[in-house]
Amino acid sequence: MLKTTTLTLRKLKGVRPIVAVTAYDTPTARFADAAGVDLLLVGDSVGNVMLGFDSTVPVTLDMMVHHTGAVARANTQALVAADVPFAEAHFDFERVLASCQRLMQVGGAAAVKVEATSAQASLIARLVEAGVPVWGHVGLKPQQIHTLGKYRKFGSTPEEAEGLLDDARALEAAGCFALLLEMTDPAVAARVTAAVSIPTIGIGSGPEVDGQILVSADLLGMTTGYVPGFVRTFADVGAGMTRGFTAYAEAVRQRTFPEPPGADTSESSR
Ligand code: KIV
């Protein structure tokens, strides 16, 4: 099995769209990999999607290492990238490097994603020099929710559009292997995509980017709370789960499960 690398992804720019999803556990990583997904992000969205928090802010490095390990142990062909969680990328270089080291050495990630602006370009250049592949994240940066006040689209004013282009160019120059554009005005996302030679992967940023990423629970119909308007539900796994739990509950209550003694064919349990 040939592993997807950051180089593989870079070579896909202009060839075909890159397919990325989030994963936080081993089975999801395996199912996504079997479907041919190129890139698995252990996103800090694990906080809202899996852990019951109302933002990504409470997600710690320990939590990220824990979930990255679960995804990395799926041993996928897809490249596994892990989010550097809230505030971590704003400490000094030694601490940021140590955080990335844990995500890669203990967690098993092959790359990290950093919510960044041009202000972090020199820090990112040093990480890249140390052997840490960095995926830069621009546009809406959910870790900023408490300073933003609400999640919103970015790049709608000329100043914001120019700022995004500057950030994208600076992060490319710093050595990022790709850029994630979240909730970026589609016309600006197209300009950024044309302006950089590394792939852009969009979420809520329109079609004129080099790839798309969605939160797996959103695209699988498993999100119980708010789902952004740009999401398409490709399967209703949530409804399938409810059906399964309902059938199980009914079978237990009606004593049709388990089988009567003698009829049980299973020989071992976990
Ligand atoms: O953490 C996450 O899920 C993200 C999304 C934008 C893909 O960064």
Closest Cα partner for 18 from 177, 208, 201? Answer: 201
Residue nearest to atom 4 of ligand 1 (CA): 43
Mean pLDDT, range 51-74, rounded to an integer? 98
Question: Which atom belonging to ligand 1 lies closest to the Cα atom of 49?
Answer: 3
pLDDT of residue 264: 59
Q: Are 79 and 111 in contact (CB under 8 A)?
A: yes
Question: Which atom belonging to ligand 1 lies closest to the Cα atom of 45?
Answer: 1
DSSP annotation of 3 = P
**Angle between the N-to-C axes of helices 93-101 and 121-129, in degrees from 0 to 180, rounded to the nearest 10:** 50
Q: Catalytic annotation on 182? A: yes
Q: What is the CATH number of the domain that holds 134?
A: 3.20.20.60
pTM, two decimals, is: 0.96
Structure tokens, 201? 């992967």
pLDDT of residue 88: 97
Residue nearest to atom 8 of ligand 1 (CA): 43
Structural domains in the chain (count): 1
* Residues of the domain holding 64: 6-219
Q: Which of 18, 112, 180 to mutate to test the pocket of ligand 1 (most atoms within 8 A of CB)?
A: 180
* Nearest-angstrom CA–CA distance, 44 and 82: 8
181 Cα to the center of ligand 1, angstroms: 10
244 falls within a domain: no
262 falls within a domain: no
128 Cα to the center of ligand 1, angstroms: 21
Residue 267 has pLDDT above 70, yes or no: no
Q: Which of 84, 154, 203, 222 to mutate to test the pocket of ligand 1 (most atoms within 8 A of CB)?
A: 203
Local confidence band at 142 (pLDDT 50, 70, 90 cut-offs)? very high
230 falls within a domain: no
3 Cα to the center of ligand 1, angstroms: 22
Q: What average pLDDT is seen over the chain?
A: 96
pLDDT of residue 85: 98
What proportion of the chain, given as a percentage, has pLDDT over 90?
Answer: 94
Q: Of 15-19, 234-238, 261-265, which gets the smallest average pLDDT?
A: 261-265
Residue nearest to atom 2 of ligand 1 (CA): 43
What proportion of the chain, given as a percentage, has pLDDT over 70?
Answer: 97
227 falls within a domain: no
178 Cα to the center of ligand 1, angstroms: 14
| Tens-place pLDDT, residues 65-109 | 999 999 999 999 999 999 999 999 999 999 999 999 999 999 999
153 falls within a domain: yes
242 falls within a domain: no
142 falls within a domain: yes
| Tens-place pLDDT, residues 168-221 | 999 999 999 999 999 999 999 999 999 999 999 999 999 999 999 999 999 999
182 falls within a domain: yes
